């Protein structure tokens, strides 16, 4: 049963809200000023773009600039605690002296920002010269900015302070001329947004690192089991990617190729030693259930196919082999040849190897290998191996 209605969008509500949850603009009670309405609208605006802005730096700059605007401050900044929670360093710094301020590191045992970070409590100080915690030597003397008043709030994530957000000096022509509790509230809401976005970005980074490390470990395991030479997987991945760039492969297709090239021989982990021809299909099945790797699966399945249909497991021909698999297949063969040349005569120089590989590639162009892949190799990869003597 609706008991109230938004005066702006006319959305009915079952209880009273401070601000309309539908449009964020309306003021549905007594005593809420126009400024509060604008503040809420800006917060809604940030929340809307929140998931769209993937660049953390940009998002924090936006949040900081909004804080500056809404509180009518001369400057603003976001500072983060370092891993040991001993120093605060500037992540964003608005206002005229922003670029200078960004180079400054502040020990948490000093200053107002340090106090806020350490105690996880906000501060609103109208005249910093009267506050014993204020230390001009920390930022003002280096930046040339003169702080008069400050609102500084902690950014907290899961009960732990991760940094602070502050606005400095109420603008001289601002109504009232002083920071208020409203300003403090606004800054706290924004600091909440900032904290979540910082932690999201850290989580994404951690996941990326975890993924990269896992791939590295898998690569090493594959090499041990498949009895490939050390670094085989990485060389296949590197050369495949160089060829792919030459062929203007980009985006997801490029990523899939990179993962497939790195893990192309993963199937060796799951097969009996006397049946190596099973490794492409087994490998493809192994990765197909991992969402990030599912696009690499068809490339792994076809990485032993050959242009003329003489490969395995399906005897696919020419364009029926995915392009990424054609690249890996070619590079796999080139790398295997390199290994056997070295095995036969460990004294063969890199230049001599290059000539032999080029010869092999050219001999099998349009027979075992896709001509465009071989051409990209001869133009892009082979010359970087040095000029033959």
Q: Give the residues lining the site for Fe ion (CB under 5 A).
A: 265, 332
Identify which of residues 75 and 244 has a Cβ nearer to Fe ion in the complex: 244
Closer Cβ to Fe ion, 101 or 325, answer by number? 325
Closest CB 279 distance from Fe ion, rounded Å: 6
Q: Minimum CB separation from Fe ion for residue 223, in Å?
A: 9
Beta bridge partner(s), residue 77: 93, 166
The residue among 75 and 266 lying less far from Fe ion, judged by its C-beta, is: 266
User: Which residue lies nearer to Fe ion by CB, 74 or 332?
Assistant: 332
Q: In the bound complex, what is the minimum distance in angstroms from residue 303's beta carbon to Fe ion? A: 6
- C-beta closer to Fe ion: residue 165 or 373: 373
Question: Which of 255, 269, 192, 195 has the alpha carbon at shortest distance from 227?
Answer: 269
Say what the alpha-carbon torsion angle 245, 250, 251, 257 is, to the nearest 10 degrees: -60
The least distance separating Fe ion from the CB of residue 240, rounded to whole angstroms, comes to 11
In the complex, which residue's CB is closest to Fe ion?
Answer: 265
d(CA 87, CA 269): 47
Six token digits for residue 50: 């929140």
Q: Which residue has the tokens 């990424």?
A: 324
Nearer to Fe ion, 95 or 267 (CB): 267
Measured CA to CA in angstroms, residue 311 lies from 118, 281, 299 at distances of 65, 13, 14
To the nearest whole angstrom, how small is the minimum distance from the Cβ of residue 236 to Fe ion? 6
CA distance 144 to 276: 70
- At closest approach, how far in Å is the CB of 245 from Fe ion? 21
Residue 251 sits at φ, ψ, to 5 deg, of 55, -140
DSSP percent split of the chain into helix, strand, coil, nearest 5: 55, 15, 35
């Amino acid at each position: 049963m609706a008991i109230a209605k938004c005066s702006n969008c006319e959305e009915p509500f079952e209880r009273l809200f401070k601000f309309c949850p539908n449009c964020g603009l309306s003021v549905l009670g007594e005593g809420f000023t126009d400024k509060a309405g604008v503040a809420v609208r800006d917060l809604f605006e940030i929340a809307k773009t929140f998931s769209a802005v993937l660049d953390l730096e940009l998002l924090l700059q936006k949040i900081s600039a909004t804080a500056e605007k809404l509180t009518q401050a001369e400057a603003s900044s976001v500072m983060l605690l370092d891993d040991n929670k001993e120093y605060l360093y500037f992540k964003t710094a608005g206002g005229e002296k922003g670029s200078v301020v960004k180079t400054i590191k502040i020990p948490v045992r000093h200053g107002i920002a340090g106090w806020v970070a350490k105690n996880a409590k906000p501060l609103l100080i109208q005249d910093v010269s009267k506050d014993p915690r204020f230390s001009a030597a920390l930022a003002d003397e280096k930046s040339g900015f003169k702080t008069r008043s400050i609102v500084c709030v902690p950014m907290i994530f899961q009960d732990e302070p991760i940094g602070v957000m502050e606005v400095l000096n109420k603008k001289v022509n601002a109504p009232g001329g002083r920071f208020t509790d409203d300003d403090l509230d606004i800054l706290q809401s924004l600091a909440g947004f900032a904290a979540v976005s910082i932690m999201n970005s850290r989580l994404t980074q951690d996941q990326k690192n975890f993924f990269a490390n896992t791939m590295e470990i898998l690569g090493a395991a594959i090499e041990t089991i498949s009895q490939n030479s050390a670094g085989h997987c990485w060389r296949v991945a590197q050369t495949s990617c160089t060829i792919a760039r030459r062929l203007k492969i980009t985006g997801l297709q490029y990523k899939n190729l990179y993962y497939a090239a790195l893990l192309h021989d993963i199937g060796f982990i799951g097969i009996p030693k006397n049946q190596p021809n099973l490794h492409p299909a087994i490998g493809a099945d192994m990765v197909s259930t991992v969402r990030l790797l599912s696009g690499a699966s068809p490339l792994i399945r076809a990485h032993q196919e050959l242009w003329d249909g003489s490969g395995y497991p399906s005897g696919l021909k020419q364009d029926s082999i995915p392009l990424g698999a054609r690249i890996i297949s070619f590079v796999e063969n080139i790398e295997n040849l390199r290994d056997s040349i070295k095995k036969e005569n460990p004294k063969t120089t890199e230049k001599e190897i290059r000539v032999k590989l080029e010869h092999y590639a050219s001999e099998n162009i349009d027979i075992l290998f896709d001509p465009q892949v071989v051409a990209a190799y001869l133009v892009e990869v082979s010359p970087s191996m040095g000029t033959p003597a």
